[in-house]
């Protein structure tokens, strides 16, 4: 079977959006899209979204959270035992409730510094929020593989992202796993795990390989959607939801503490 004859799959469409198809396969995908206008429109939206994100976030990043909340500091807290972790979390939440965090939580976007790491992490936040908006509204197909096939989902996404993943357990903060999907992310792929609370509000964890240095936890908000994001151990993470910042921070810390990438 030639490249032109092989059926077009999601991997082909993702690679087409990423611009990674060889010429003969690209021609086959373009011919197929010409015969499937609904899918062609969806692919065109993805490409336009990708271009808008690159343009919008190339020179923006969020102001860092104070040093005591940086990933390195939280790592050290892992060695303190459960009493130390609870004390740290209580202090963070008290800071949020009291309004003392306004200096670093109070705005949506901030002017960028010159570093490539800042631009990369800001782009991550934009990708995560865009993916959240795209799929969280879906009624019939919010996920590609549902939670009833969690083992298969995790194995599939681990293989595609090149690291052993696990779906974090967020039941302690009120969310059950719905499932997940594979997403295009420039020259690589991203995974999205989706969760839902008892009231039907959804939360997503977006993760992909990231080459930047480790970053502190950062927060951004766009159009009512908030996201905590960080980079650690060669992977980038973002937790997005229409939720109170304190509640979203609890979910982000739970994910970080569980260590969902090995």
Whether 101 and 188 map to the same domain: the answer is yes
Question: Is residue 5 included in any domain, yes or no?
Answer: no
Whether 153 and 247 map to the same domain: the answer is yes
Structurally, the chain folds into a number of domains equal to 2
Whether 38 and 120 map to the same domain: the answer is no
At residue 44, the pLDDT reads: 80
Question: Is residue 1 included in any domain, yes or no?
Answer: no
Q: Is 237 left (phi over 0), alpha (psi -120 to 50) or beta?
A: beta
Question: Is residue 4 included in any domain, yes or no?
Answer: no
pTM above 0.95, yes or no: no
* Contact between residue 104 and residue 43 where contact means Cβ atoms under 8 Å apart: no
Whether 208 and 145 map to the same domain: the answer is yes
Whether 14 and 120 map to the same domain: the answer is no
Which pairing describes strands 218-222 and 225-232: parallel, antiparallel, or unpaired? antiparallel
- Containing domain of residue 48, as a range? 10-57
**Rounded Cα–Cα distance for residues 188 and 235 (Å):** 12
Whether 112 and 189 map to the same domain: the answer is yes
Q: How many CA atoms lie less than 13 Å away from 164 in the CB half-sphere?
A: 2
Whether 104 and 195 map to the same domain: the answer is yes
Q: Beta-carbon neighbour count of residue 190 at 10 Å?
A: 23
The per-residue b/e assignment along 92-129, b for 16 or more CB within 10 angstroms, e otherwise, is bbebbeeeebeebbeeebbeeeeeebbbbbbbbbbbbb
Return all residues near 8 (Cβ < 8 A) that are at least 6 apart: 28, 29, 32
Alpha helices of 35-166 — where are they, by DSSP H?
37-57, 71-78, 81-98, 102-105, 116-136, 150-161
At residue 159, the pLDDT reads: 93
Question: Is residue 3 included in any domain, yes or no?
Answer: no
From the number of C-beta atoms within 10 Å of its C-beta (0-12, 13-18, 19+), residue 149 rates as middle
Question: Is residue 51 included in any domain, yes or no?
Answer: yes
Whether 207 and 246 map to the same domain: the answer is yes
Whether 37 and 165 map to the same domain: the answer is no
> Which one, of 188, 216, 197, 198, lies nearest residue 206 by Cα?
188
Write out the two tokens for 187: 């020259």
Query: Could you list the mean pLDDT of each consecutive 10-residue stretch along the chain, which spans 262 residues?
Result: 68 79 86 85 77 59 53 58 53 46 33 42 79 90 94 94 94 96 88 95 92 74 88 89 91 91 86
Question: Is residue 178 included in any domain, yes or no?
Answer: yes
Whether 79 and 37 map to the same domain: the answer is no
Question: Is residue 209 included in any domain, yes or no?
Answer: yes
Whether 216 and 133 map to the same domain: the answer is yes
At residue 232, the pLDDT reads: 85
Whether 34 and 107 map to the same domain: the answer is no
């Amino acid at each position: 079977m030639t490249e032109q004859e092989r059926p077009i799959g999601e991997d082909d469409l993702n690679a087409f959006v990423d611009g990674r198809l060889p010429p003969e396969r690209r021609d086959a995908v373009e011919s197929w899209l010409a015969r499937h206008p609904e899918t062609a429109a969806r692919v065109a939206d993805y490409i336009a979204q990708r271009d808008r994100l690159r343009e919008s976030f190339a020179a923006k990043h969020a102001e860092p959270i104070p040093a005591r909340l940086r990933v390195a500091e939280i790592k050290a807290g892992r060695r303190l035992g459960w009493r130390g972790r609870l004390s740290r979390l209580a202090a963070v939440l008290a800071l949020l409730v009291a309004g003392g965090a306004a200096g670093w939580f109070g705005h949506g976007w901030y002017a960028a510094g010159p570093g490539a790491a800042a631009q990369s992490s800001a782009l991550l936040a934009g990708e995560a929020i865009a993916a959240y908006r795209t799929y969280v509204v879906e009624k019939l197909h919010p996920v590609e593989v549902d939670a009833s096939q969690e083992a298969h989902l995790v194995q599939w996404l681990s293989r595609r992202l090149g690291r052993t993943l696990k779906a974090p357990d967020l039941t302690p903060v009120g969310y059950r796993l719905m499932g997940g999907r594979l997403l295009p992310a420039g020259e690589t792929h991203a995974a999205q795990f989706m969760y839902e609370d008892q009231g039907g509000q959804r939360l997503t964890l977006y993760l992909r390989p990231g080459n930047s240095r480790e970053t502190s936890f950062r927060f951004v908000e766009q159009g009512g959607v908030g996201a905590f994001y960080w980079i650690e151990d060669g992977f980038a993470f973002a937790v997005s939801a229409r939720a109170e910042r304190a509640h979203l921070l609890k979910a982000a810390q739970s994910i970080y503490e569980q260590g969902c990438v090995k």
